[in-house]
Amino acid sequence: MDVGEVVSIRGNRDHVLSRGHVCPKAFGLKELHVDPDRVRTPHLRGADGRLEPTSWEEAFAVIDERLTAIIDRHGADAVALYLGNPVAHDFATTLYASAAMRALGSRNIYTANTVDAMPKFVACQLMFGGMYTVPLPDIDRCSYLLILGANPMVSNGSLLTAPGMRARLGALRRRGGRLIVVDPNRTRTAQGADEHYPIRPGTDALLLASLVQVLFSEGRIDLGRLGPHVRGVETVEQVTREFSPETVAPRCDVPAAEIRRLARDLAAAPAAAVYGRTGTCTQRFGTVASWLIDVLNVLTGNLDRPGGAMFARPAADLRLVTAGRTGTAIGRWRSRVRGAPETLGELPLACLAEEIDTPGTGQVKALITVAGNPARSAPNSSRLAAAFEQLDLMVSLDLYRNETTQHAHVLLPAPSPLTKPHYDLFFGHFAIRNTATYSAPVLPAQPGELADWQILLRLIGILARQGATADLNAIDDMVAESLNRAVGGDGQAGGDSTVEPGGPERLLDLLLRAGPYRDGGQPLTLARVREYPDGMDFGPLSPQLPGILTTPSGKIELAPPPLVDDVAQLRTSLQRPRKHSMVLVGRRHLRSNNSWMHNLPTLAKGPDRCTLQIHPTDVARLQLGTHARVTSRAGVIDAPVEVTDAVRPGVVSLPHGWGHDEPGTAAAIAARQPGVNSNVLADGIELDPLSGTAVLNGIPVQITAAAAFEVTEANLDDR
């Protein structure tokens, strides 16, 4: 065995939160580390259009020259920044990417949030005063759990850090609790539930509004101890009066009697929680649905009580950094082309293509992408990929030359995750138990390898007009000072001799020192956390209201005006005819979420998972064979048919993140089972207006028979 060789990866049964459970992604890290397709050196696009290896010095010199010229000529808004989902999994990249965002000073900031969780963040910002103040179902003490549009047995919780979700949900039922799932698909979670309601896609907000209406009409409101801290109860009653079960049932396809029973059972349960995720977010009324979920938690007295919907108390709390962002953080500026409002500092990802390819003052001329593949994750992704070719400069920091980064002028290699330290900074805000764990890098960095944070520091230096050879230690000190001021710290992490004098450990130490926990009367430090390789356990979730509220009123805002206003549009939707016989929804697989996972043998093995799931009655009615053509107003794809009654009639389901058959990419394993890109079918025109989130579920489509297409070596050679 070579020194530094990874032999195996397994969970730590003594860890205070995971108890040995490991996400399937972790099992792929060994293969990711040695993957020959992984980018290991900087690449620069030459005159012939090909990406060729270059030195770090040359790569940063080109970025400095071209990026500075673009900003000088067109202003900072001519540069866009995109942060992908993996950023949230890396505390160092999270902190330094935020610093890069501030150094850039552009209004063209885009992330994966607006194809995912932004509706929940907006609802929590408006209700509780903070986007990270997110109620979590206290699963381990819950007696009744209503889940909408989520599949936690596969995701292990989304905005819900709960390792071993299958065992936790099983324990809920064994202790006499009930699990209710509302989802168009009979997911793995739905299969293990006491009840499953195959709702019509896109109508979750209607069902939730009807549940609220029943609680009011039957006198089942009980705010409990939170009564004095809640504003807007009367307004919620008024705006939901017209959503009776009898009115809503024909739209959402959940019988009126069942809606009433769900509301009664929820109100009567000793300890209940309502939880929704991606399915409830990526629809036209995603923010309204996310809001109504927590309205139900409040009205039944289940918010902030054991067994209900509670709040995490993370040891390193990002809310300290965003503490000044109170009230409405929507619409402070608008996108140039369609005038879409900013939300929590971001513009909708659906707007990025038009901001690049539409000429005029303020046009985006340069793009920096970090750990993302928006050419597969964004709506109308074909237009976005074409727009990339019009950029004067595109810089990408990534593991692979994928469908997005193949368009880069400068491709900067991200290091192997096994050479990085780890701390659950972002996900600690959504954990069902309060813990803190720091893990040192498993392996040393390879010769010539730079950490993500070092690369981002170099970009910060360029954006700060200090050039490509600026003193990184001085820039790092500036980042640390800025964070220290933001969290109200009174010292430097350098005072702790066990902490590195710079880098991400210093930033993490500053957050821990400013956090809620004390160690012998003194602030918690990273040095102390290091002493607990199995994690520090601060106990189960505990009540925190009203102390953590940061709304201008200091109360729970149950009826924020932007949400109340959008309920009027929800009411109007009741009058619209049901025109579409078939609609498309997404789905998640245990071993497939991010596109990079498709190039790792452990995660990619097995039968084709990028299939079009369709109900047997629809197959017969449409006379489909082995493949089907799916047509929306945005695009057309052909996909293999998987006949299953796991989807309801009138619904077809495709996973996202596939379509690995483009020339210019380098992912040999993914190319052998490329799948199709479902986001070709999402036009990006219809958005949830409050969050800017694209409608990715409930897309109207036409389904017809199509010829089969087999991936062969000849096809692969054409790449």
> What DSSP assignment string belongs to 596-629?
GGGGSHHHH-SS----EEE-HHHHHHHT--SEEE
Alpha-carbon span 428 to 66, nearest angstrom = 38
Residues 155 and 300 in one domain: yes
Residues 589 and 472 in one domain: no
Last residue of a domain, which of 567, 599, 621? Answer: 567
Sort strands 144-148 and 272-276 into parallel, antiparallel or unpaired: parallel
Residues 590 and 467 in one domain: no
Percentage of the chain beyond pLDDT 70 is 95
The reported pLDDT for the residue numbered 289 is 98
Alpha-carbon span 41 to 60, nearest angstrom = 13
Contact status, residue 665 vs residue 597, Cβ threshold 8 Å: no
Decide if 143 is inside a domain. yes
The reported pLDDT for the residue numbered 3 is 58
Alpha-carbon span 106 to 96, nearest angstrom = 16
pLDDT average, residue stretch 222-241: 98
Decide if 383 is inside a domain. yes
pLDDT at 716 over 60: no
The reported pLDDT for the residue numbered 592 is 75
Which of the residue ranges 274-288, 476-490, 505-519, 581-595 would you say has the lowest mean pLDDT?
581-595
Contact status, residue 461 vs residue 544, Cβ threshold 8 Å: no
Decide if 533 is inside a domain. no
- Tokens, residue 579: 């025109």
pLDDT average, residue stretch 174-197: 97
Percentage of the chain beyond pLDDT 90 is 86
The predicted-structure confidence for 662-704, as pLDDT tens digits, reads as follows: 999 999 999 999 999 999 999 999 999 999 999 999 999 999 9
The reported pLDDT for the residue numbered 709 is 56
Residues 99 and 153 in one domain: no
Which of the residue ranges 447-451, 454-458, 575-579, 636-640 would you say has the lowest mean pLDDT?
575-579
Last residue of a domain, which of 523, 538, 567? Answer: 567
Where do we find the tokens 């340069």? Answer: 366
Residues 419 and 474 in one domain: yes
The reported pLDDT for the residue numbered 495 is 53
Contact status, residue 375 vs residue 385, Cβ threshold 8 Å: yes
> What DSSP assignment string belongs to 640-708?
EEEE-TTB-TTEEE--SS-----TT---HHHHHS----GGGG--S-SEETTTTEE--SSEE-EEEEE--
The reported pLDDT for the residue numbered 529 is 96
The reported pLDDT for the residue numbered 691 is 97
Sort strands 410-413 and 43-45 into parallel, antiparallel or unpaired: antiparallel
Q: In which band, very low, low, confident or very high, does the pLDDT at 27 lie, cut at 50, 70 and 90? A: confident
Q: In which band, very low, low, confident or very high, does the pLDDT at 490 lie, cut at 50, 70 and 90? A: low
pLDDT at 472 over 90: yes
Q: Where are the alpha helices (DSSP H) in 305-451?
A: 352-357, 374-377, 381-388
CA-CA-CA-CA torsion sign (137, 138, 140, 145): negative
Q: Which domain holds residue 609?
A: 580-705
Decide if 189 is inside a domain. yes
Where residue 215 sits, what CATH number does that domain have? 3.40.228.10
Nearest CA to 73 out of 336, 359, 367, 363 is that of: 363
Q: In which band, very low, low, confident or very high, does the pLDDT at 594 lie, cut at 50, 70 and 90? A: confident
- Tokens, residue 74: 């067109």
Q: What is the DSSP letter of 531?
A: T
Three-state DSSP string of 266-280: HHHCCCEEEEECHHH
pLDDT at 526 over 70: yes
Backbone angles phi and psi of 305, in degrees to 5:
-135, 150
Decide if 507 is inside a domain. no
The reported pLDDT for the residue numbered 459 is 98
Angle at 665 between CA 659 and CA 670, to 5 degrees: 50
The reported pLDDT for the residue numbered 227 is 97
Decide if 433 is inside a domain. yes
Q: In which band, very low, low, confident or very high, does the pLDDT at 715 lie, cut at 50, 70 and 90? A: very low
Sort strands 422-423 and 438-439 into parallel, antiparallel or unpaired: antiparallel
**383: helix, strand or coil:** helix
Q: In which band, very low, low, confident or very high, does the pLDDT at 500 lie, cut at 50, 70 and 90? A: low
Q: In which band, very low, low, confident or very high, does the pLDDT at 434 lie, cut at 50, 70 and 90? A: very high
Decide if 283 is inside a domain. yes
The reported pLDDT for the residue numbered 5 is 81
The reported pLDDT for the residue numbered 86 is 93
pLDDT at 75 over 50: yes
Residues 653 and 689 in one domain: yes
The reported pLDDT for the residue numbered 718 is 35
Count of domains observed in the chain:
3
Residues 175 and 219 in one domain: yes
Q: In which band, very low, low, confident or very high, does the pLDDT at 497 lie, cut at 50, 70 and 90? A: low
Last residue of a domain, which of 481, 508, 534? Answer: 481
Contact status, residue 210 vs residue 245, Cβ threshold 8 Å: yes
548 residue type, one letter:
I
pLDDT average, residue stretch 193-198: 98
pLDDT at 323 over 70: no
The CB density around residue 699, as the number of other CB atoms within 10 Å, is 30
- Tokens, residue 580: 């579409």
Q: In which band, very low, low, confident or very high, does the pLDDT at 2 lie, cut at 50, 70 and 90? A: low
The predicted-structure confidence for 554-571, as pLDDT tens digits, reads as follows: 999 999 999 999 999 999
Residues 178 and 151 in one domain: yes
Q: What is the DSSP letter of 158?
A: S
pLDDT at 195 over 60: yes
The reported pLDDT for the residue numbered 330 is 85
Nearest CA to 422 out of 40, 148, 15, 713 is that of: 15
Report the helix count and the strand count for the chain, using DSSP H and E.
26, 32
Q: Where are the alpha helices (DSSP H) in 345-432?
A: 352-357, 374-377, 381-388
Q: Which residues pair with 412 in a beta bridge?
A: 397
Residues 473 and 563 in one domain: no
- Tokens, residue 283: 């629809």
Query: Please, what's the b/e burial string for 366-388 (b: 16 or more CB within 10 A of its CB; e: otherwise)?
Result: bbbbbbbbbbbbbbbbbbbbebb
Alpha-carbon span 571 to 143, nearest angstrom = 32
pLDDT average, residue stretch 509-537: 94
Residues 300 and 344 in one domain: no
- Tokens, residue 470: 């600026």
pLDDT average, residue stretch 329-338: 92
The reported pLDDT for the residue numbered 25 is 80
Q: In which band, very low, low, confident or very high, does the pLDDT at 1 lie, cut at 50, 70 and 90? A: very low
Please give the C-alpha separations between residue 27 and each of 8, 10, 23, 33, 170, in angstroms, as whole numbers.
Answer: 8, 8, 7, 11, 24
Q: In which band, very low, low, confident or very high, does the pLDDT at 384 lie, cut at 50, 70 and 90? A: very high
pLDDT at 282 over 70: yes
The reported pLDDT for the residue numbered 712 is 40
The reported pLDDT for the residue numbered 125 is 96
> In the sheet where 178-182 sits, what is the strand order?
195-197, 178-182, 144-148, 272-276
Where residue 617 sits, what CATH number does that domain have? 2.40.40.20
Residues 90 and 173 in one domain: no
pLDDT at 580 over 90: no
The predicted-structure confidence for 138-153, as pLDDT tens digits, reads as follows: 999 999 999 999 999 9
Contact status, residue 586 vs residue 656, Cβ threshold 8 Å: yes
Residues 167 and 45 in one domain: no
The CB density around residue 64, as the number of other CB atoms within 10 Å, is 21
Q: In which band, very low, low, confident or very high, does the pLDDT at 169 lie, cut at 50, 70 and 90? A: very high
pLDDT average, residue stretch 433-458: 96
Backbone angles phi and psi of 485, in degrees to 5:
-65, -40
Where residue 40 sits, what CATH number does that domain have? 3.40.50.740
Residue 468: enclosing H or E segment and its boundaries?
none
The predicted-structure confidence for 97-129, as pLDDT tens digits, reads as follows: 999 999 999 999 999 999 999 999 999 999 999
Residue 714 buriedness (CB in 10 A; 0-12 / 13-18 / 19+): exposed
**489: helix, strand or coil:** coil
pLDDT at 653 over 80: yes
Alpha-carbon span 146 to 267, nearest angstrom = 12
